[in-house]
Structure 1
Amino acid sequence: MNSALLPAVNQRPTIRDVSRIAGVSIKTVSRVINDQQYVSAEKRKRVLEVMAEIGFQPSDAARALKGRRSHQVALICDNPNPWYVYEIQAGVRERCAAAHVRMIAQPYDRSSPTLLDDIVALIDQAHPDGLILAPPACDDRRVIDELERRSIPFVRLQPGGPLQSARAVLMDNERAAFDMTSYLLSLGHHRIGFIVGDRGYAASGQRLAGHVRALSSAGVDIDLDYVRQGQFDFDSGRAAADALLNLPAPPTAIVASSDDLAAGVLAAAHRRGIAVPERLSVTGFDDAPLAQAVWPALTTVRQPVRAMAAAAADQLLDPAAEGERRLGHEIVVRESTAPPGA
């Protein structure tokens, strides 16, 4: 065997080492370890040879095969907003700690070619008793199919749609956006811009749908010029706001799909000398600490992120829990909104 392929001296061989040296995927190594099907005799032989040669010992494999609990749960989470990720981790961690269960956090990058292999490696090395899938992993069929095939319990946090027999915790994003746009309509706004969040998150489409429904319910014509694409971040919020404010008849209010996007809108307005809320009302979504740090403080949707994460942990830790659990939202009114021309 080429010595360059071997693990470093005094370093315990890992499933990644076996995968690399044998020239197969981590998923294939996992199937060999667990004596599962769908592996050719040649690959199985090669993997077993490499495991013997480098002295690889699957961590806790015997315990997993005997069906014993590991008293660990895994959180699969990815989001460009550090506050959102922290709130999810805190909610799950606090609930798990109370039950004397350890939380393992696994970053999720939906663009990574090794995404599924990374999750499989986590399962085979840590043997969690179950997983919590935060957006957008909660809607990734590759991940869900693998968990269902292995009969591993999981709970989806803020999923984009129903899944037969799967447990989930969510807030009604469509209704929350409907309520926010309806609030602006009640102030007298009719030219209302909307900045959509990242396309990869189901919540983005849900919030746009709520906005459109509110306009339609109020008899306001839907003008797609007032809808702009964002990425849940400050820079895309500022760029989208610039495009909206350059329109011949610019909006008198802008609904942003996150507080970071809304902060970008405020920056664009301030740079142009547009007074908020006297000439432009701005709203966000989440009620992150940023919402009160910007000027003026944001009117926003309070999303109970930590409570939803804790509820997801509750569902995972309770074998009898079934179906969906819904938590409510709140419209928090601050200084960034007022009637048009106030």
Structure 2
Amino acid sequence: MVTIKDIAKLANVSHTTVSRALNNSPLIKEPTKRKILEIVSQLNYTPNYNAKNLVMQKSHTIGLFFTSISNGTSPSFFADTIKGVNSVISQEYNLFVRGIDDYDDYSSINKMRFDGIILMSQSDRDNTFIYHVIQKNIPLVVLNREINNRSIINILSNEQEGSRLAVEYLIKKGHTDIALIEGKKGFKSSQKRKEGYLAALIENSITIQMEYQVQGNYDIQSGYRAMDTLLELECPPSAVFCSNDDMAIGAMNAVFARGLNVPDDVSVVGFDDIGFAQYSTPKLTTVKRPVENISIEGAKKILSAISSNQPGERIFENTTLMIRDSVKDLTTI
């Protein structure tokens, strides 16, 4: 029978270090923890917990993973996600937050460490992580990105429809020269929001102009740079749809820096409805994406999945156009 001492000898560490690794202690460096858990997995070792833990098989930890925390995830999106999940997760559970891109491999992602996992998915690159979690039989809820696997609990908002409605609103206000500041390359949200923008133009027989589509990165700086590029054009747009609010705020600042005005010279629409949107000057017209509501629903679903087997389902939360002061009505001129 394999013991902790056997594992300690193979890993060349103390049995205390092995015990800490099995209990998900923050006192151990991630590479050491991974090495120990790999050996544990290879030897099919089952920890000899007390009777209660042996029956329950619980780590009392829920993992909240993002595609990336440092690259392409805006502070408001990150905060709203954690706020939503944390409002539901009781003190019985520890909430472990990490970016998938922090991991070289996923050997430390197993049932001994996580009772359940919530993934705020932003890219197709997450699929490898999703398959790993499924293989390890860890209850999983995927937020934000549509997953073509009916066995998974999948909660998201209809971003393409939200973007289409935003651009249609600009068209109804008389705008035809409408630009797009795109989101981060490779993110599904960027693709869906661009598809909504294009759909609105096509449905209203407005010519698609490639120079009006400028790459952004979901941060304020990229919104500023993209708007600068658009304003340098021989025929600048009368309105700009920004793929998130952070870029919209950057874009508005680029307009102001040239001595121009929003919305008199350029109308701006954002996406997300972050807290700052209604306090900007002018107040930002934007698409409200219910990130916090999606996260709350995800947390409820993961708790249910931990306590009992839950069938896969897809849940859509509606987006809403929040009309404020950053769009000029050209039909009244």
TM-score using structure 2 length: 0.82
Residues 1:82 and 1:250: Cα distance change in structure 2 (over 3 Å)? same
Deviations along 1:109-142, one digit per CA (max 9) or x if unpaired, are 52x4x3434xx435466x3221000033785122
Residues 1:149 and 1:239: Cα distance change in structure 2 (over 3 Å)? same
Is 1:107 the counterpart of 2:92? The answer is no
Letter paired with 1:289: G
Residues 1:73 and 1:167: Cα distance change in structure 2 (over 3 Å)? same
Is 1:33 the counterpart of 2:40? The answer is yes
Three-state SS of the structure 1 residue aligned to 2:247 is helix
Contact 1:108/1:115 (CA < 8 Å) preserved in 2? no
Contact 1:139/1:159 (CA < 8 Å) preserved in 2? no
Return 5+ residue gaps in structure 1 as ranges: 38-47, 49-56
Q: State how far apart, in whole Å, the 1-side matches of 2:248 and 2:40 are.
A: 49
Q: State how far apart, in whole Å, the 1-side matches of 2:111 and 2:296 are.
A: 25
Contact 1:299/1:333 (CA < 8 Å) preserved in 2? yes
Matching residue of 1:116: 105
Q: How does 1:82-231 map to 2 (within 5 A)?
A: 82-97=75-90, 101-110=92-101, 112=102, 114-117=103-106, 120-121=107-108, 123=110, 127-136=113-122, 140-231=126-217
Q: State how far apart, in whole Å, the 1-side matches of 2:315 and 2:141 are.
A: 11
Using the aligned pairs only, state the percent identity.
Answer: 25
Structure 1 residue 243 displacement after superposition: 0.6
Contact 1:188/1:339 (CA < 8 Å) preserved in 2? yes
Q: State how far apart, in whole Å, the 2-side matches of 1:88 and 1:186 are.
A: 33
Matching residue of 1:326: 316
RMSD: 3.2
Structure 1 residue 13 displacement after superposition: 5.8
Three-state SS of the structure 2 residue aligned to 1:96 is coil
Is 1:75 the counterpart of 2:74? The answer is no
Deviations along 1:181-224, one digit per CA (max 9) or x if unpaired, are 01101101011010111114210100000100110000011111
Contact 1:73/1:101 (CA < 8 Å) preserved in 2? no
Question: How many residues are matched?
Answer: 308
Residues 1:217 and 1:103: Cα distance change in structure 2 (over 3 Å)? farther
Matching residue of 1:337: 327
Residues 1:59 and 1:248: Cα distance change in structure 2 (over 3 Å)? farther
Structure 1 residue 161 displacement after superposition: 3.9
Structure 1 residue 298 displacement after superposition: 0.3
Letter paired with 1:116: D
Q: State how far apart, in whole Å, the 1-side matches of 2:312 and 2:220 are.
A: 38
TM-score using structure 1 length: 0.80
Three-state SS of the structure 2 residue aligned to 1:183 is helix
Structure 1 residue 162 displacement after superposition: 2.2
Task: Determine which of 233, 240, 246 is the counterpart of 1:260.
Answer: 246
Q: State how far apart, in whole Å, the 2-side matches of 1:171 and 1:87 are.
A: 14
Three-state SS of the structure 2 residue aligned to 1:270 is helix
Q: State how far apart, in whole Å, the 2-side matches of 1:181 and 1:297 are.
A: 18
Residues 1:108 and 1:136: Cα distance change in structure 2 (over 3 Å)? same
Residues 1:252 and 1:122: Cα distance change in structure 2 (over 3 Å)? same
Contact 1:187/1:339 (CA < 8 Å) preserved in 2? yes
Structure 1 residue 340 displacement after superposition: 3.6
Deviations along 1:139-193, one digit per CA (max 9) or x if unpaired, are 5122112111111110100114422411110000111100100110110101101
Residues 1:115 and 1:82: Cα distance change in structure 2 (over 3 Å)? farther
Residues 1:124 and 1:31: Cα distance change in structure 2 (over 3 Å)? farther
Q: State how far apart, in whole Å, the 1-side matches of 2:54 and 2:242 are.
A: 49
